[in-house]
Structure 1
Amino acid sequence: MMGRVLTFFDPLVRLLLVAIVAASLLPVSGQGAVIARIVSDVAIFLLFLLNGLRLPRSKVFTGLRHLRFLLPLIVFVFGVMGLVGWFVSARADGLLPASVALGFLFLGVLPSTVQSATAYTSLAGGNVANSVVAAAVLNILGVFISAPIIALVVSGGVAGLDLGTLERIGMILLLPFLLGQMLQGWLGPLVADRKRLFSLMDRFAIAIAVYVAFSGAVVQGLWTFISLGEWLVLLGLVGLMLAVGFIGAWALGGALGLLRADRISFLFAGAQKSIAMGAPLAAVLFAPEVAGLILLPVLIYHLVQLIISAPLASRFTRQG
């Protein structure tokens, strides 16, 4: 029951749906789009600054010592899922618009969620400490792994990646995170004492990035040039990646001989993908008209993973 409530009333899910509807009905274009992207960049800068401020360095160092759990998880999240995303993206080329097909590679190399993976691990009776540390380490690595993989694999003609884009990654993602880590001793307690306020700021920053990206896609004709058949293909391929993510993570955890609590943590950390990283990263890497299309597989995956995770967590609780 608690899992269902978490799924359908999660504030981030509601904000994402509002952002998509708003972009569909009132997309920004022209000079408004330029201003909106500046606002989005500022919001993303603040998001990663806050991430740097509230992530204790001690957790990162502690997580690095759980190598038997962490190393296979890193390989699965970025390596296995990245290869599956690349394979699906290649097979989808010709069946889907190029930017949507590229979205599967982008989805594959994203890190795990933080809040929902930890919440479902807790509901299922898993190892919450492992989940928290894994999510933190994976999201730090995501900044250094996801963007370079996309930059190396994707041609400049499709995504518009160049030296200027890599500079944007450094200025809007890496710089604020490092500043947050440096200022943690001074401003960290301020953020910790106002968790609700800064959590709201997080969600609105992600929603702004999604709104700007989808506005660009809507202006380009998102809801008209993707046919019903293509939508069915898109949903089917997202379903394939979900199956690989959840079944693969659970199977690998068993093959590693992890304890039940650790295996549950491995499942949710390995199978879930982070829109909190995906939306800002897409906004930084791609032009808005491309970013919205690339985010389609990520958004669908994110929403469905929550729906899948709720009954899974309930089942683990009953079996526990």
Structure 2
Amino acid sequence: MLRRTLARFGIDPYLIALMATVAVAAVFPAHGTGAEIANDAVSVAVALLFFLYGARLSPLAVWEGLLHWRLQSLVFASTYLLFPLLGLLLTRIFGGFLPSELIAGLIFVCILPSTVQSSIAFTSIARGNVAAALCSASVSNLFGMVLTPLLVVLLLNSKGGGFSTRAVESIALQLLLPFLVGQLLRRWIGPFLQRHKAPISLVDRGSILLVVYAAFSEGMVAGIWSQVTLADLGLVIIIDVVLLAAVLTITTFASRRLGFSKEDEIAIVFCGSKKSMASGIPMANILFPGQALGLIVLPLMLFHQAQLFACAVLAQRYARRPAQAKTETPGEADLATAKT
């Protein structure tokens, strides 16, 4: 009844849940042992998310997603070409009004890899090409471990950084291993998950709420908000929102002009418009030693919140499209012909 009432007024219940999570984190942030528990809960939720994806997706769908080079190329171009160019343009326009640490933070946002968890979760909620999103977001993070430090050196003249074996291990243990286990068990549990989609939906949405709570708690405990003026904070928010809106618009327009299916468009929009805070904060610790790290990662934290809210709304809009509107992704037509 509550969901129907909110929908009547055009209010997304999940967006309210996100706002409530931020409010809880602001009033009751996790710190000390609580923060460790929250981070462990995020790790478990993400691992469970990828296990369920592995159990639900067919190996053929994963392989087709990996070989969908046009989609992967467009997401890669958005992440490592479009974002940096827009970031340089916006910081050139507004750079004189912000401290150098915030300018560096805005550039840093633009050269980070895409998120993995939320990109795939929102793609799933929106009924998009999850297999392609999984491959695209994962490949983006693998390239990001090399490209992000190089772009920091090139654009920010920062010393340090390099290839992180710990990040590779994290991706392998937290994402790839659960997915492979799900693939191995798909024969037995896959049909059940296809019939009962509520568990996957709960993990999709719940994992994002956990990430929001843990990330916002970390910022509250670190006292980031006391290190910046309201004017600076407002301008950073404006730049982040303009940057996100521009990328969402361009990726949507490009995917439609290039003839991608609606499912592929969803994967492109969600994977190509995101920036990973989970990768970004650990990278910032390495790439900006001895600098005001709190101010440098502040634009990333704000952008992360903005992208979650915006993509939550977009995902629900995509999900409400009629089921018959689904179009064939590249390779489906050939596969159907081969079966006949």
Change (3 A) 1:100 1:144: same
Q: Quote the Cα distance in structure 2 between the aligned partners of 1:205 and 1:236.
A: 27
Contact conserved, 1:28 with 1:36, CA < 8 A, in 2? yes
- Residue correspondence of structure 1 range 1-320 to structure 2 within 5 A: 5=7, 8-11=11-14, 13-63=15-65, 70-89=68-87, 92=91, 94=100, 96=102, 98-99=104-105, 101-106=107-112, 109-110=114-115, 113=119, 132-133=128-129, 135-154=130-149, 162-230=164-232, 231-251=234-254, 253-254=256-257, 256=258, 258=259, 262=260, 267-273=265-271, 278=276, 294-305=300-311
Q: Quote the Cα distance in structure 2 between the aligned partners of 1:274 and 1:8.
A: 26
Contact conserved, 1:104 with 1:297, CA < 8 A, in 2? no
Which amino acid in structure 1 is aligned with residue 75 of structure 2? V
Deviates more, 1:110-119 or 1:78-87: 110-119
Give the structure 1 partner of residue 155 of structure 2.
none
**Cα distance, 1:145 vs structure 2:** 2.2
Q: Quote the Cα distance in structure 2 between the aligned partners of 1:197 and 1:119.
A: 12
Q: TM-score, normalised by structure 2?
A: 0.67
Q: Quote the Cα distance in structure 2 between the aligned partners of 1:48 and 1:218.
A: 29
**Cα distance, 1:42 vs structure 2:** 1.6
Change (3 A) 1:54 1:15: farther
Q: Deviations over 1:161-199 (max 9, x none)?
A: 732232122111111111111211122223233311332
Change (3 A) 1:60 1:39: closer
Change (3 A) 1:171 1:265: closer
**Cα distance, 1:280 vs structure 2:** 6.3
Change (3 A) 1:97 1:21: farther
Deviates more, 1:242-251 or 1:24-33: 242-251
**Cα distance, 1:83 vs structure 2:** 1.6
Q: TM-score, normalised by structure 1?
A: 0.70
**Cα distance, 1:9 vs structure 2:** 1.7
**Cα distance, 1:137 vs structure 2:** 0.9
Q: Secondary structure at the match of 2:201?
A: helix
Q: Deviations over 1:133-169 (max 9, x none)?
A: 3x42122231132243145413798989732232122
**Cα distance, 1:114 vs structure 2:** 5.5
Structure 1, unaligned runs of 5 or more: 121-130, 315-320
Q: Quote the Cα distance in structure 2 between the aligned partners of 1:47 and 1:144.
A: 18
| Pairwise CA RMSD | 4.3
Which amino acid in structure 1 is aligned with residue 310 of structure 2? V
Change (3 A) 1:157 1:48: farther
**Cα distance, 1:37 vs structure 2:** 1.6
Give the structure 1 partner of residue 289 of structure 2.
none
Contact conserved, 1:216 with 1:292, CA < 8 A, in 2? no
Q: Quote the Cα distance in structure 1 between the aligned partners of 2:243 and 2:23.
A: 26
Contact conserved, 1:110 with 1:274, CA < 8 A, in 2? no
Q: Quote the Cα distance in structure 1 between the aligned partners of 2:250 and 2:205.
A: 29
Contact conserved, 1:23 with 1:211, CA < 8 A, in 2? yes
Which amino acid in structure 1 is aligned with residue 235 of structure 2? L
**Cα distance, 1:245 vs structure 2:** 3.3
**Cα distance, 1:15 vs structure 2:** 3.2
Deviates more, 1:149-158 or 1:297-306: 149-158
Contact conserved, 1:27 with 1:219, CA < 8 A, in 2? yes
**Cα distance, 1:303 vs structure 2:** 2.3
Return the index of the structure with the highest Cα Rg: 2
**Cα distance, 1:26 vs structure 2:** 0.9
Contact conserved, 2:66 with 2:136, CA < 8 A, in 1? no
Structure 2, unaligned runs of 5 or more: 153-157, 286-293, 321-340
Contact conserved, 2:79 with 2:110, CA < 8 A, in 1? no
Contact conserved, 2:114 with 2:276, CA < 8 A, in 1? no
**Cα distance, 1:297 vs structure 2:** 0.9
**Cα distance, 1:19 vs structure 2:** 2.2
